[in-house]
Amino acid sequence: MVNSKRSLISFRCAWFAALFIALTVLSGCSGEKTVNFKINSVPKGAHVLYQVVGGSNSCQGQWIYLGSTPVQGVRKFEERELENTDKIILKIMHSGYFDQTKEWDGPGFWEEIEEREVIFWTPELVPAPMDE
C-alpha cells in the first residue's frame, strides 16, 4: 500500500514536471518579445515619438509620445504583427535642433530585438540655424 502511494505521487510529480517543461518550451516559440527601449540624446530633454507604418497594428500611422530623454520603457512585440509592417520609426525633437529619426522595416526590427532585446539610441542633436 505504501509503495503504491509513493508510485502515484512520483507519477504525479513527473507528469506535472513534464507539463511545466512543455509549456515553457511552447511559450518560448510564441513569436513574442519584450523589448526594452533606452533612448537618450545629447543634449537631454528631447521629445521621443514612435510610429508604426503599415500592417495591422491598431495604432498604425499615429505618432505615440514616449517621453523626454532619457527614456526607458518596455513594450511587447509579436512577430506576426511586424511581418507586414512597412516601417517602425523613432523620432527625436528638441527646440533649437534638427529632428532626427531612426527607421527599421518590420522584419529588420524583429531581427534587432531577437539579437539584442533592447533598442539603444543616443543621437547627438545638430543645432538648427537661428532665424534673425
Residue 50 sits in the same domain as residue 80: yes
Mean pLDDT of all residues in 100-117: 88
Q: Which phi and psi (to 5°) does residue 63 adopt?
A: -85, 130
What domain range includes position 91? 32-121
Render pLDDT for 32-83 as a digit per residue (tens, 0 to 9): 777 888 999 999 999 999 898 887 666 778 898 999 999 998 888 777 777 7
116-131 pLDDT, tens digit per residue, is 888 899 999 999 998 7
Q: What HEC string does 32-65 produce?
A: EEEEEEEECCECCCCEEEEEEECCCCCCCCCEEE
What does pTM read for this prediction? 0.69
* Whether residues 117 and 65 fall in one domain: yes
> Are residue 49 and residue 95 in the same domain, yes or no?
yes
Which residues partner with 68 through β-bridges? 47
The answer on 117 and 60 residing in a single domain is yes
List all residues 6 or more positions away from 68 whose beta carbon is below 8 Å from its beta carbon. Answer: 44, 45, 46, 47, 48
Check whether 9 has a pLDDT greater than 50. Answer: yes
* Domain match, 4 and 18 both: yes
Q: In this structure, which amino acid lies at residue 95?
A: S
